[in-house]
Amino acid sequence: MSGPSSYVPKLGIAKWLDARLPLPRLMYDSFVAYPVPRNLNYFWTFGGILMLMLVSQILTGVILAMHYTPHATLAFTSVEGIMRDVEYGWLMRYMHANGASMFFIAVYIHIFRGLYYGSYKAPREVLWILGVIIFLLMMATAFMGYVLPWGQMSFWGATVITNLFSAFPIVGETIVTFLWGGYSVDNPTLTRFFSLHFLLPFMIFGVVILHVWALHVTGQNNPTGVEVKAVAKDTIPFTPYATIKDAFALVLFFAFFAYFLFFIPNYLGHADNYIPANPAVTPAHIVPEWYFLPFYAILRAVPDKLGGVLLMFAAIAVLVVLPWLDTSKVRSMSYRPLARQCFWAFAVTCVMLGWLGSRPAEGIYVTLSQLFTALYFAYFLIALPLLGLFETPKKLPGSIAESVLGKMKGGSGAVVGAAAPAEPNTKG
């Protein structure tokens, strides 16, 4: 999609720079002239939202780091000092803590969008895998960030999760000692987590650049899953169309963010993390942050520790090979009646796993966790490989333009959500 550049520098200085470092040209081609499919719906605005959330996390994080003390005896008090004595420190801290949750809400919507519209399929495999890498880095960052306030959940969450690595034969113990910087979670663990928590977001930033680069090579997928055929007919320029739509969605998302941040800032957190870390007292229930719960449920579904750890990693690894597991040529689930039902069953499965992750690992909860873990993997390993072979997809529109404009000519009076210019499903 990144065809010949249409940038024409006008000012003398712009021409001068263009001949030496064509940065304005890159910006122009990427964010002004860049052609986007004309039928994108609002699920396509989450990429931009994620970009801003990353910037927001880095800005608030850098300010927090100016006032935070990474030491086992001082970390908790320094975070409380931020909340009380630093001007607008409470704002920075609540923005950062709730921002992490918003970041994950956005990334989950973004991922499910990709799953539904088949955005992982050729030629977007590398783009998709880069996304999975960002997701992994985000999880590592958030996990280590949660340790920094050094409350009870920080400490015990870190203990439980780092202990998982001891399940690996032979090297396990060495890895754990290495993570801890000693023989238990203690000050060396906190200081190395702080250092890495500072570093990883910038690595995420780097991978995001690759992700966007890959996007601009293949172009965006769209709700029909039909590739752009004629740029003039099927696409519209990024500016002003996508810019204004993204801006609207972004501001709406920030209103949602603000609601949590200002009115219920501790809703997504855990009360126990306002108790200073105490290695002598284990909390009644150790639960990770909400965004890890589905994976936590998979981990605990297996009675064997190593098995649980492997399965948990497999739950993410399976996303990497997904482009080759889905055998269907049709991208969008809108044209795959059976696969679509499986998709929604999968979505429900993820919610159930999230719920189970928050329950104690006992009795019926374990059985249910096993059932839903099986369903989770079944979607990738059974449903998607087989459906591509047996399912008869619905007829695809000839082109994006036809799916949008054809409907108009057909004069179907169907009222389409303002948000979804293209509504292939209501067609005819």
Partner 1 sequence: MTLFRTSLAAFAAIMIGAFSAASLSPAHAAGGGTKPPAHDWSFDGPFGTFDRAQLQRGYKVYREVCSACHGMSLMRFRNLSQKGGPEFTEAQVRALAADFKISDGPNEQGEMFERPGRPSDGFPKPFPNEQAARAANGGAYPLDLSVIAKARNYERGFPLFLLDIITQYQEGGPDYVKALLTGYEDPPKGVELLPGQNWNKYMAGNIIGMPNMLNDGQVEYPKGPDGKSPVPETAKQYAADVVAFLMWSAEPHMEQRKSIGRQVFIFLLLFAGLLYFTKKRIWSRLPEHAPGAAH
User: 356 or 383, CB closer to partner 1?
Assistant: 356
Residue 331: which of ligand HEM, partner 1, none does it interact with, CB under 5 to 8 A by kind? none
Euclidean distance between CA atoms 347 and 190, whole angstroms: 35
List the one residue from 62, 244, 345, 374 that touches partner 1 (CB under 8 A). Answer: 244
User: 211 or 359, CB closer to partner 1?
Assistant: 359
User: 176 or 315, CB closer to partner 1?
Assistant: 315
Least Cβ distance, residue 71 to ligand HEM (angstroms) = 12
User: 63 or 319, CB closer to ligand HEM?
Assistant: 63
Contact flag: residue 345 with partner 1 (CB under 8 A): no
Binders in 125-184 for partner 1, by CB under 8 A = none
266 to 295: interface string for partner 1, x by CB under 8 A: xxx-xxx-xx--------xx-x-xxx-xx-
Stretch in the footprint of partner 1 (CB under 8 A) among 165-173, 193-201, 371-379, 419-427:
419-427
Contact flag: residue 5 with partner 1 (CB under 8 A): no
HEC-encoded secondary structure of the chain: CCCCCCCCCCCHHHHHHHCCCCHHHHHHHHHCCCEEECCCCHHHHHHHHHHHHHHHHHHHHHHHHHHCCCCCCCHHHHHHHHHHCCCCHHHHHHHHHHHHHHHHHHHHHHHHHHHHCCCCCCCCHHHHHHHHHHHHHHHHHHHHHHHCCCEHHHHHHHHHHHHHHHHCCCCHHHHHHHHHCCCCCCHHHHHHHHHHHHHHHHHHHHHHHHHHHHHHHHCCCCCCCCCCCCHHHHEEEHHHHHHHHHHHHHHHHHHHHHHHHHHCCCCCCCHHHHCECCCCCCCCCCCCCHHHHHHHHHHHHCCCHHHHHHHHHHHHHHHHHHHHHCCCCCCCHHHCHHHHHHHHHHHHHHHHHHHHHCCCCCCHHHHHHHHHHHHHHHHHHHHHHHHHHHCCCCCCCCCHHHHHHHHHHHCCCCCCCCCCCCCHHHCC
10 to 49: interface string for partner 1, x by CB under 8 A: ----------------------------x--xx-------
Contact flag: residue 111 with partner 1 (CB under 8 A): no
Q: Contact positions toward ligand HEM, by CB under 6 A?
A: 54, 57-58, 61-62, 64-65, 68, 79, 93, 96-97, 100, 103, 138, 141-142, 145-146, 148-149, 197-198, 201, 204, 269
Least Cβ distance, residue 82 to ligand HEM (angstroms) = 7
Residue 271: which of ligand HEM, partner 1, none does it interact with, CB under 5 to 8 A by kind? partner 1
Stretch in the footprint of partner 1 (CB under 8 A) among 133-141, 200-208, 224-232, 345-353:
345-353
Binders in 62-101 for partner 1, by CB under 8 A = 77, 80, 83-84, 90-91, 94, 101
Contact flag: residue 316 with partner 1 (CB under 8 A): no
| Helix 305-325 / helix 364-378 crossing angle, nearest 10 deg | 30
Stretch in the footprint of partner 1 (CB under 8 A) among 4-12, 29-37, 213-221, 409-417:
409-417
Contact flag: residue 240 with partner 1 (CB under 8 A): yes
